[in-house]
Amino acid sequence: MKVAVAGATGLVGSKMLQVLEERNFPVTTLIPVASEKSVGSRVNFRGREWPVVSMSTAVEQQPHLALFSAGASVSIEWAPRFAERGTRVVDNSSAWRMDPSKKLVVPEVNSHVIGPGDMIIANPNCSTIQLVMVLKPLHDRYGVSRVVVSTYQSVTGTGKKAVDQLMNERKGVQGEMAYRYTIDLNALPQIDVFMDNGYTREEMKMANETCKIMDDEAIRVTATCVRIPVMGGHSESCNIEFARTPVLEEVRALLAGFPGVCVLDNPGELVYPTPRIHAADHDEVYVGRIRMDETRPNAINCWIVSDNLRKGAATNAVQIAELLVSKGFLNTI
């Protein structure tokens, strides 16, 4: 099986290569793809050095699968070209997520939507993925009506430039700025650009993508997304309101029984998830601080943490690829 990874030299692309290797995905030929300035460099995969090529070269090689993490503009231009040559594309950018003709997939939540005609499949926003992993089992039981979520997102979600800014600031070194403001010892209540309604694009992504993945436009989601100086994963403080009254013991059991979710919830022993200690380098979505909202009869509060580079991006994309294999849509030529 020939597998192309677009953006192979970036944070998410590098993580995709790591996850492909860890999960023993059936790659026989790897085609690492990056910008022209990286062409000719090499990446390591399964103990072998593979040369980085351009998009046009990768298309000509007609891979069976292409994992994209190279930005929306690149995906808009190149994903259809791969698809036209028979390559299945899993795209990690925002390019296709809200396109009604494209599926937006979290395998544990809505794997059933993928069909044989889906040549380009969208990988959701990282903060949306961990949210719907918690919402799904609770929605099936109680009916989610409204979600109020505040995110505390890692600098790794912006990319290497943001990580470098944080590290430079901690060393007192002047360098290139990913953000307008200092990020070290700070919190920035802006992720992506502001929209006309006063929300950022990230906040509207969470609202719109959640409804599409859950296949329920009646779920109301309102978000505030904040960048903080951490690495290891994104955290979310969630208030979830239901159509029916939840029972906390059952809520914990439903979440603990859902694939990919880990409940860490024992406040008496100070047990709750954190990005650095629990989520970093893991694929699980961790949830804790589960408690009733004492101001609303049918609502709970909880705290959700997940590694944004793994389940929030690379691992979810590889899981989609594994679904394509299991459904017989990635048969080798």
Q: Identify whether the C-beta of residue 299 lies closer than 8 Å to the C-beta of residue 292.
A: yes
pLDDT (tens place) for every residue of the chain, 333 residues total: 999 999 999 999 999 999 999 999 999 999 999 988 889 899 999 999 999 999 999 999 999 999 999 999 999 999 999 999 999 999 999 999 999 999 999 999 999 999 999 999 999 999 999 999 999 999 999 999 999 999 999 999 999 999 999 999 999 999 999 999 999 999 999 999 999 999 999 999 999 999 999 999 999 999 999 999 999 999 999 999 999 999 999 999 999 999 999 999 999 999 999 999 999 999 999 999 999 999 999 999 999 999 999 999 999 999 999 999 999 998 654
Domains of the chain: 2-124+313-326 (3.40.50.720), 127-308 (3.30.360.10)
CB atoms within 10 A of CB 239: 17
- Which residues are part of the catalytic machinery? 126, 234
CA trace torsion 8, 14, 15, 20 (10° rounding): 60
Cα 303 to Cα 238: distance, rounded to the nearest angstrom: 6
pLDDT score, position 333: 45
